[in-house]
Chains A and B, each alone.
Chain A
Amino acid sequence: MPRNVTTVSIPKPLADKLRERINGTAFNNLSSYVTFVLREVLAKVNQRIEKEGNKSKEAFTKEDEEEVKARLRSLGYLD
C-alpha cells in the first residue's frame, strides 16, 4: 500500500452498493469513488463553515434583510 494512503472500513453491504454504482463510470475502483465522494462532502462542509463565519462577521447582511422581509410579509406584517 502506498505510504500516503490509509485503510478505512465501511460495511460490506454498503461497499457492494457503491461497486454497483461505479459500474460504467470513470472510477477504476471503489477506493477512488469513495475518495471522490468524501472530498465532495468535505468541500461542502468547508463551504458551509465559511459561509456561516462570514455571516456572523457581518451580523446582518442584505441577504438576511431580504429573507426577514419575505418572512414578515408571509406573516402579514408587511405588504
Chain B
Amino acid sequence: MKNFKKTSGDKKFNKNIIMIALDGVRFDQIKDFPMFKNMTSKGTLFTNVITYAPHSIASFYSIFTGIYGCHNGVNSYFGTPKFKENECKTITEYMKELGYTCFGDSMNDLIVPKKGFDYIKEQKAFQEFFDSHRDIISEIRNNNDNGKLCFVHLHCSYLHNDVVHEFIKKYKNNEDGFYKNKENNIKLYRKFLDKIDNYVKKIMNILEENNLIENSVIIFFSDHGTSLGEKKGETSYGNFCYDITLKTFFLFLNKELFPVKIINQMVRNVDIVPTLLELIGVSIDRHYMDLDGKSLMDFIKSSDQQKKRIAFCETGGISGQWPSPKEPVIHCIRTDEWKLVYNRIPNTYELYDLRNDLNEENNLVDKNIDKEAVLKAVLRDYMNL
C-alpha cells in the first residue's frame, strides 16, 4: 500500500462497498414505489443530490473521482478520452490499494473510469443484464469466502433503454408531440420505473440470499434525472441545466453505519468519494488533483443543520437547441435556494428562486435581485473566466 494514510487505526473497515446506479431515475417519481419506499426507510437518504452533468458520461466520471468534469477532463458526451487519468485518483483505485477486489459492469465503456477495477464488464446494448448482476453478486460472495472484500459497481440501465426507445427515437422528428403529451410521458416513465422497482427488489433478495446485507455498504444512486416534457428543447436529458435532470439521490444502506434518516439539504454527486474515504478511514491522496467534493459524514452523523454547499453543473447537448457534445455551453451554479444558469450560446442568463419556483419558470435575471451579482461572480470563478 502506498500514497495514502489510514486516518483511524483503531478499527479496520471490513465491509464490501456495493454501488448500484439506477440510470436516469428521478427521485420525485420513484419515491412512492413500494420497494424503493421500503428501502428508503432502512438507511440514510439524500433526496437532493445535484449532479455535475445531466448525462451519464460526465456524471459518472465526477462520481468516481469526486472532481468536476471541468477539472478531471470529462466535461461532455465526447469527454472520455480527455480524462486526466494521471492526475485523478478514482475511488476504485483507493479501494484496490486497500486490498479490495474491484469489479462490476457498466452500460458502455465510455461511462465509468476503468482505473482500479480488476474487471468491468460492458453490457450489450439494449440487452438484458440481470443474470450478469446475479453472477457479479455471487462473485462477491466467493471473494468474501476467500477472505477478500469487494468494491462493486452495478449499472441498472433499463430506464436508459426505455427512454431511448420511447422518447428520444420516437419523438426525434416530432418534438412538439412530446411536449403536448406530458401527462402521458409521466405515465409511461412511471411504467418504466415499475421495472426499476422490481430490479431493486430482486437485487436486494439476491444480496440477502448471499448474506451480503450486513457486511456490505449498499449505495443506490442515480446519475441524472429525465425530462418528461416540462422544458421545451429536451426530450430526455443532457440539453439543459434544470432540476428535472440535475437532481439525483443517494441512499446508503447498512444498519450499523447509516442511521434511518432523510436529508433534504442540497449536496453534490462529487461528494461521494470523500464520504467513502472518511467512512473507510483513508485520507485523500495529495499526490493527485484536489477533490471538489466534501464528505457527507457530518450530515449522516449529526442532527445539526450543516453548512450549505454550492453545486456547479454544466452540459452541452447531443441534440436540442444548442447542441454541443464536445464541450459544455450551459453552465450553472445552484445553492439550496437559488440557481443561476449561463447559456454561453446565445449568451443569456437565467436566475431562479428555487424556494418559490420549483419548476424554474420565472426567470428573475435583471430584476434587481441582489443574489444575481454574487452568483455571477461565483460562476465566473468556476468557469475560470
Contact = CB atoms under 8 A, between A and B. Distances in A.
Does A associate with B in a complex?
yes
Contacts of B125: 74-76
A74 B318 contact: no
A59 interface: yes
A46 interface: no
Contacts, number: 45
A22 interface: no
Interface in B153-185: 160-161, 164-165, 168-169
A77 B77 contact: yes
Contact of A71 (B109, B126, B165): B109
B107 interface: yes
Interface residues of B, number: 20
Chain A contact surface mostly:
helix
B108 interface: yes
Given A71-B108, A75-B164, A76-B168, A64 B81 contact: yes
Given A71-B109, A75-B108, A65 B78 contact: yes
A47 interface: no
A31 B81 CA distance: 41
A60 B81 contact: yes
A74 B165 CA distance: 12
Contacts of B169: 76
Contacts of B82: 59-60
A34 interface: no
13 contacts: A55-B81, A64-B81, A68-B81, A71-B109, A72-B77, A72-B318, A74-B108, A75-B107, A75-B108, A76-B125, A76-B126, A76-B160, A77-B168
- Which 5 residue pairs across A and B have the least CB separation, nearest first? A76-B164, A64-B81, A74-B125, A71-B110, A68-B78
